[in-house]
Structure 1
Amino acid sequence: MSLPAAPLDVVGADGLPLFGRYRGLAGAPGWSRLAPPFARGALRRRLHHKRWHFVSLVTDELFVGLVVIDIGWSNSAFAYAFDRTLGKVVEAFSPVGLPGLTAEVGANVAEGARFVMPGRRIVIEADGADGHRLRLRAGNFRIDAEYGGAGPRLLAVGPVVDGGAVHSTQKSPGLALRGTADAGGKRFRLDGGVASYDFSNGLLGRRTAWRWISAHTRELGINLQAGYFGDAENALWLDGELIALGSLGSRVETDGGWTIATADGLLDLRFTPEGTRRDDKQLLVASSSLTQHVGRFDGWVKAGPDGPKRTVSGLTGLAEDYRARW
């Protein structure tokens, strides 16, 4: 069943959020127009308003993960390069910025993001209707990349738990990638690889936690989340179609990896890690704990309950655990 087209604004004329999963992207969400019980005063809205723009770049040799985060009263970023041949992270940085000075995250994914401070720079800019340009500079760690192309984008809007109000997220399928990355003393060609993004904008609680799974080729992709946002963003991209998925079941640990499945019976995969990056921040009034496993997914997916199983083999992606007090 096809998802409905995305609304221009995820807040309706009555001030209520338009909860659901949609095909396409929305404009800037009108959180200031929210009606009870989702409305928040200006100060509380500023303190709880969180935005981030995450990008992954994947080739046979390299996995890059990077993000710019604006939490209203502070901001931060991180970027790392995982050399898949060596099986280790060869470049990484994770600075905390200065409020209102070092970071800017747009109101939607088309507006891009930037983090700029001495010695560290990430700039994500729109490139046409369906693409982005990415520039990263941090000493000898450098990226010049462009990515984009056709394929249905996902917009998910839903309530959040633990003191939050409402959240929206925009996800891409696997996008055509080109460019170069300098990392670990090597130059990597990105041409022929796959990029994907996660742009999120919402009013979240003081404490937020999730498990997130994301993996894409140009023909097949998965996005799964369990935690603060429930199953609101769970989706499968398959041969140009965008299919809603059910809730993510318990992660079953096995020797050297774990298995995952959705409650609707449309996905059953085994994840085998190639490596792990951890990033913990402990500040006076905030903290975060991030673990991103890079690896491969094998198993099967289905487009519907009565559809045939589609084999998944060597699908590269990440499995993330995150907790924040922000």
Structure 2
Amino acid sequence: MMLPAAPLHAVGADGQPRLGRYAGLAESFGWDALAEPFRRSAPWRRLHHKRWHFVGIVTDEVYCATAVVHVGWGSSAFGYVFERATGRDLACFSSVGLPGMGARVGANARAPGSYRSFSEHIDILPAGSGDWMLGLSARGLRIDAAYGGAAGHLLAIGPAAGGSVHATQKSGAMTVAGVAVAGGRRFVLDDGVAIMDYSNGLLGRSTGWRWLSAHGPDVGINLQQGYFGGAENALWLDGQLLPLGEARFDMTPQGLCVRTADGLVELHFTPDGERRDDKQLLVASSRLRQQIGVFDGWVRAAPDAAPRAVRRLAGMVEQHHARW
């Protein structure tokens, strides 16, 4: 089943969120216009409005990633270059911004985002129709890349457990050109793929999830288990964007196995390594685990379709719990 085209606005004229999964990018989210039962007071929205913009780039050598996060009352950011062969970060940073300073996350996925501190800066900028540019500079770490192309974009809008309503934009594999410099080494990114995660919603005080993101030119998978249910689960297959059912993450004697309830996905994960990023503040905390590696198994476009083999598809499994 192909997904319908994304609405320009996530909230309709009646104040109801346009719940569902769509293909394309939204222009506005407008949570202040929500009606019951999703409506919340202005002070509540101020504290619970969470936005982030994540960019991941994977090549045969490295996995590069950065994120700019605004949590309503504060902000944070991180960036890293992970060497797949050794399973370690060549360079990384994780920073917390002061209230009212630090991160700027755009009103939609095409709006500029940035982060500034004394020693780090990040810029995520639109660059023409369907393209973006990433510039990151920190001590011992630099990423300069342009990415975009004809990859399909997912828009998912749904209720958020413990909060009100949430929306996320996920991309399929996009072409990329650029360089990363880390650990005194220079990596050309031109043979890799890039993905984007822009998320914007009214989330609960305590929010947790498991997220699988794995993408190549012909096959891509996005799965989430947690506060958003299966709202953003989707398969990119030969240029088509297809919805997927609820995801299960199970540890087996052979390692992590991920399946969907509709029988369209079964993947086994082999990690290259794990990176951790924990933050503990007076009123908030974040526990982040990202395993980077490859997936083997199969996917199919429909229950009666023949399985399509997936072999060594590069990606990540993330486990995150935030109290914010």
Counterpart for residue 302 of structure 1 = 300
How far apart in 1 are the matches of 2:108 and 2:296? 33
Counterpart for residue 99 of structure 1 = 99
Is 1:61–1:83's contact at 8 Å kept on the other side of the alignment?
Answer: yes
| 3-state secondary structure, aligned to 1:36 | coil
Deviation at 1:230, TM superposition (A): 0.1
Deviation at 1:92, TM superposition (A): 1.0
The equivalent position to 1:273 in structure 2, one of 246, 271, 279, is 271
Matched, 1:192 2:191: yes
How far apart in 2 are the matches of 1:194 and 1:299? 20
Counterpart for residue 159 of structure 2 = 159
Which structure 2 segments of 5+ residues have no match? Answer: none
Counterpart for residue 246 of structure 1 = 245
Q: Deviations over 1:154-176 (max 9, x none)?
A: 000000112x0000000100000
Deviation at 1:254, TM superposition (A): 2.7
How far apart in 2 are the matches of 1:201 and 1:129? 22
Matching residue's letter, 2:174: L
Question: Equivalences for 1:51-66 in 2 at 5 Å?
Answer: 51-66=51-66
How far apart in 2 are the matches of 1:103 and 1:221? 29
Is 2:85–2:272's contact at 8 Å kept on the other side of the alignment?
Answer: no
Question: Equivalences for 1:308-323 in 2 at 5 Å?
Answer: 308-323=306-321
How far apart in 2 are the matches of 1:249 and 1:140? 38
Which structure 1 segments of 5+ residues have no match? Answer: none
Matching residue's letter, 2:159: P
Matching residue's letter, 1:125: L
How far apart in 2 are the matches of 1:213 and 1:151? 18
How far apart in 2 are the matches of 1:238 and 1:222? 9
Counterpart for residue 231 of structure 1 = 230
How far apart in 2 are the matches of 1:64 and 1:9? 31
How far apart in 2 are the matches of 1:180 and 1:65? 13
Is 1:105–1:112's contact at 8 Å kept on the other side of the alignment?
Answer: yes
Is 2:173–2:194's contact at 8 Å kept on the other side of the alignment?
Answer: yes
Matching residue's letter, 1:74: G
How far apart in 2 are the matches of 1:207 and 1:140? 34
How far apart in 2 are the matches of 1:149 and 1:107? 22
How far apart in 2 are the matches of 1:138 and 1:65? 13
Q: How many residues align?
A: 324
How far apart in 1 are the matches of 2:253 and 2:106? 40
Is 1:152–1:172's contact at 8 Å kept on the other side of the alignment?
Answer: yes
| 3-state secondary structure, aligned to 2:110 | helix
Q: Deviations over 1:184-225 (max 9, x none)?
A: 111000012100010000000000000000011121100000
TM-score, normalised to structure 2's length? 0.99
| 3-state secondary structure, aligned to 2:44 | helix
How far apart in 2 are the matches of 1:11 and 1:107? 14
How far apart in 2 are the matches of 1:61 and 1:122? 22
How far apart in 2 are the matches of 1:114 and 1:253? 40
How far apart in 2 are the matches of 1:58 and 1:308? 28
Is 1:97–1:103's contact at 8 Å kept on the other side of the alignment?
Answer: yes
Counterpart for residue 112 of structure 1 = 112
Deviation at 1:87, TM superposition (A): 2.1
Superposition misfits of 4+ residues, deviation over 3 angstroms? none
Q: Deviations over 1:28-49 (max 9, x none)?
A: 2011100011111111111000
How far apart in 2 are the matches of 1:139 and 1:279? 17
Q: Name the % identity.
A: 56
CA RMSD of aligned residues (A): 0.8
| 3-state secondary structure, aligned to 1:47 | helix
How far apart in 2 are the matches of 1:16 and 1:59? 41
How far apart in 2 are the matches of 1:307 and 1:180? 40
Matched, 1:218 2:250: no
Deviation at 1:113, TM superposition (A): 1.2
Matching residue's letter, 1:35: A
How far apart in 2 are the matches of 1:211 and 1:112? 27
Counterpart for residue 84 of structure 1 = 84
How far apart in 2 are the matches of 1:253 and 1:316? 20
Question: Equivalences for 1:275-290 in 2 at 5 Å?
Answer: 275-290=273-288
How far apart in 2 are the matches of 1:85 and 1:274? 7
TM-score, normalised to structure 1's length? 0.98
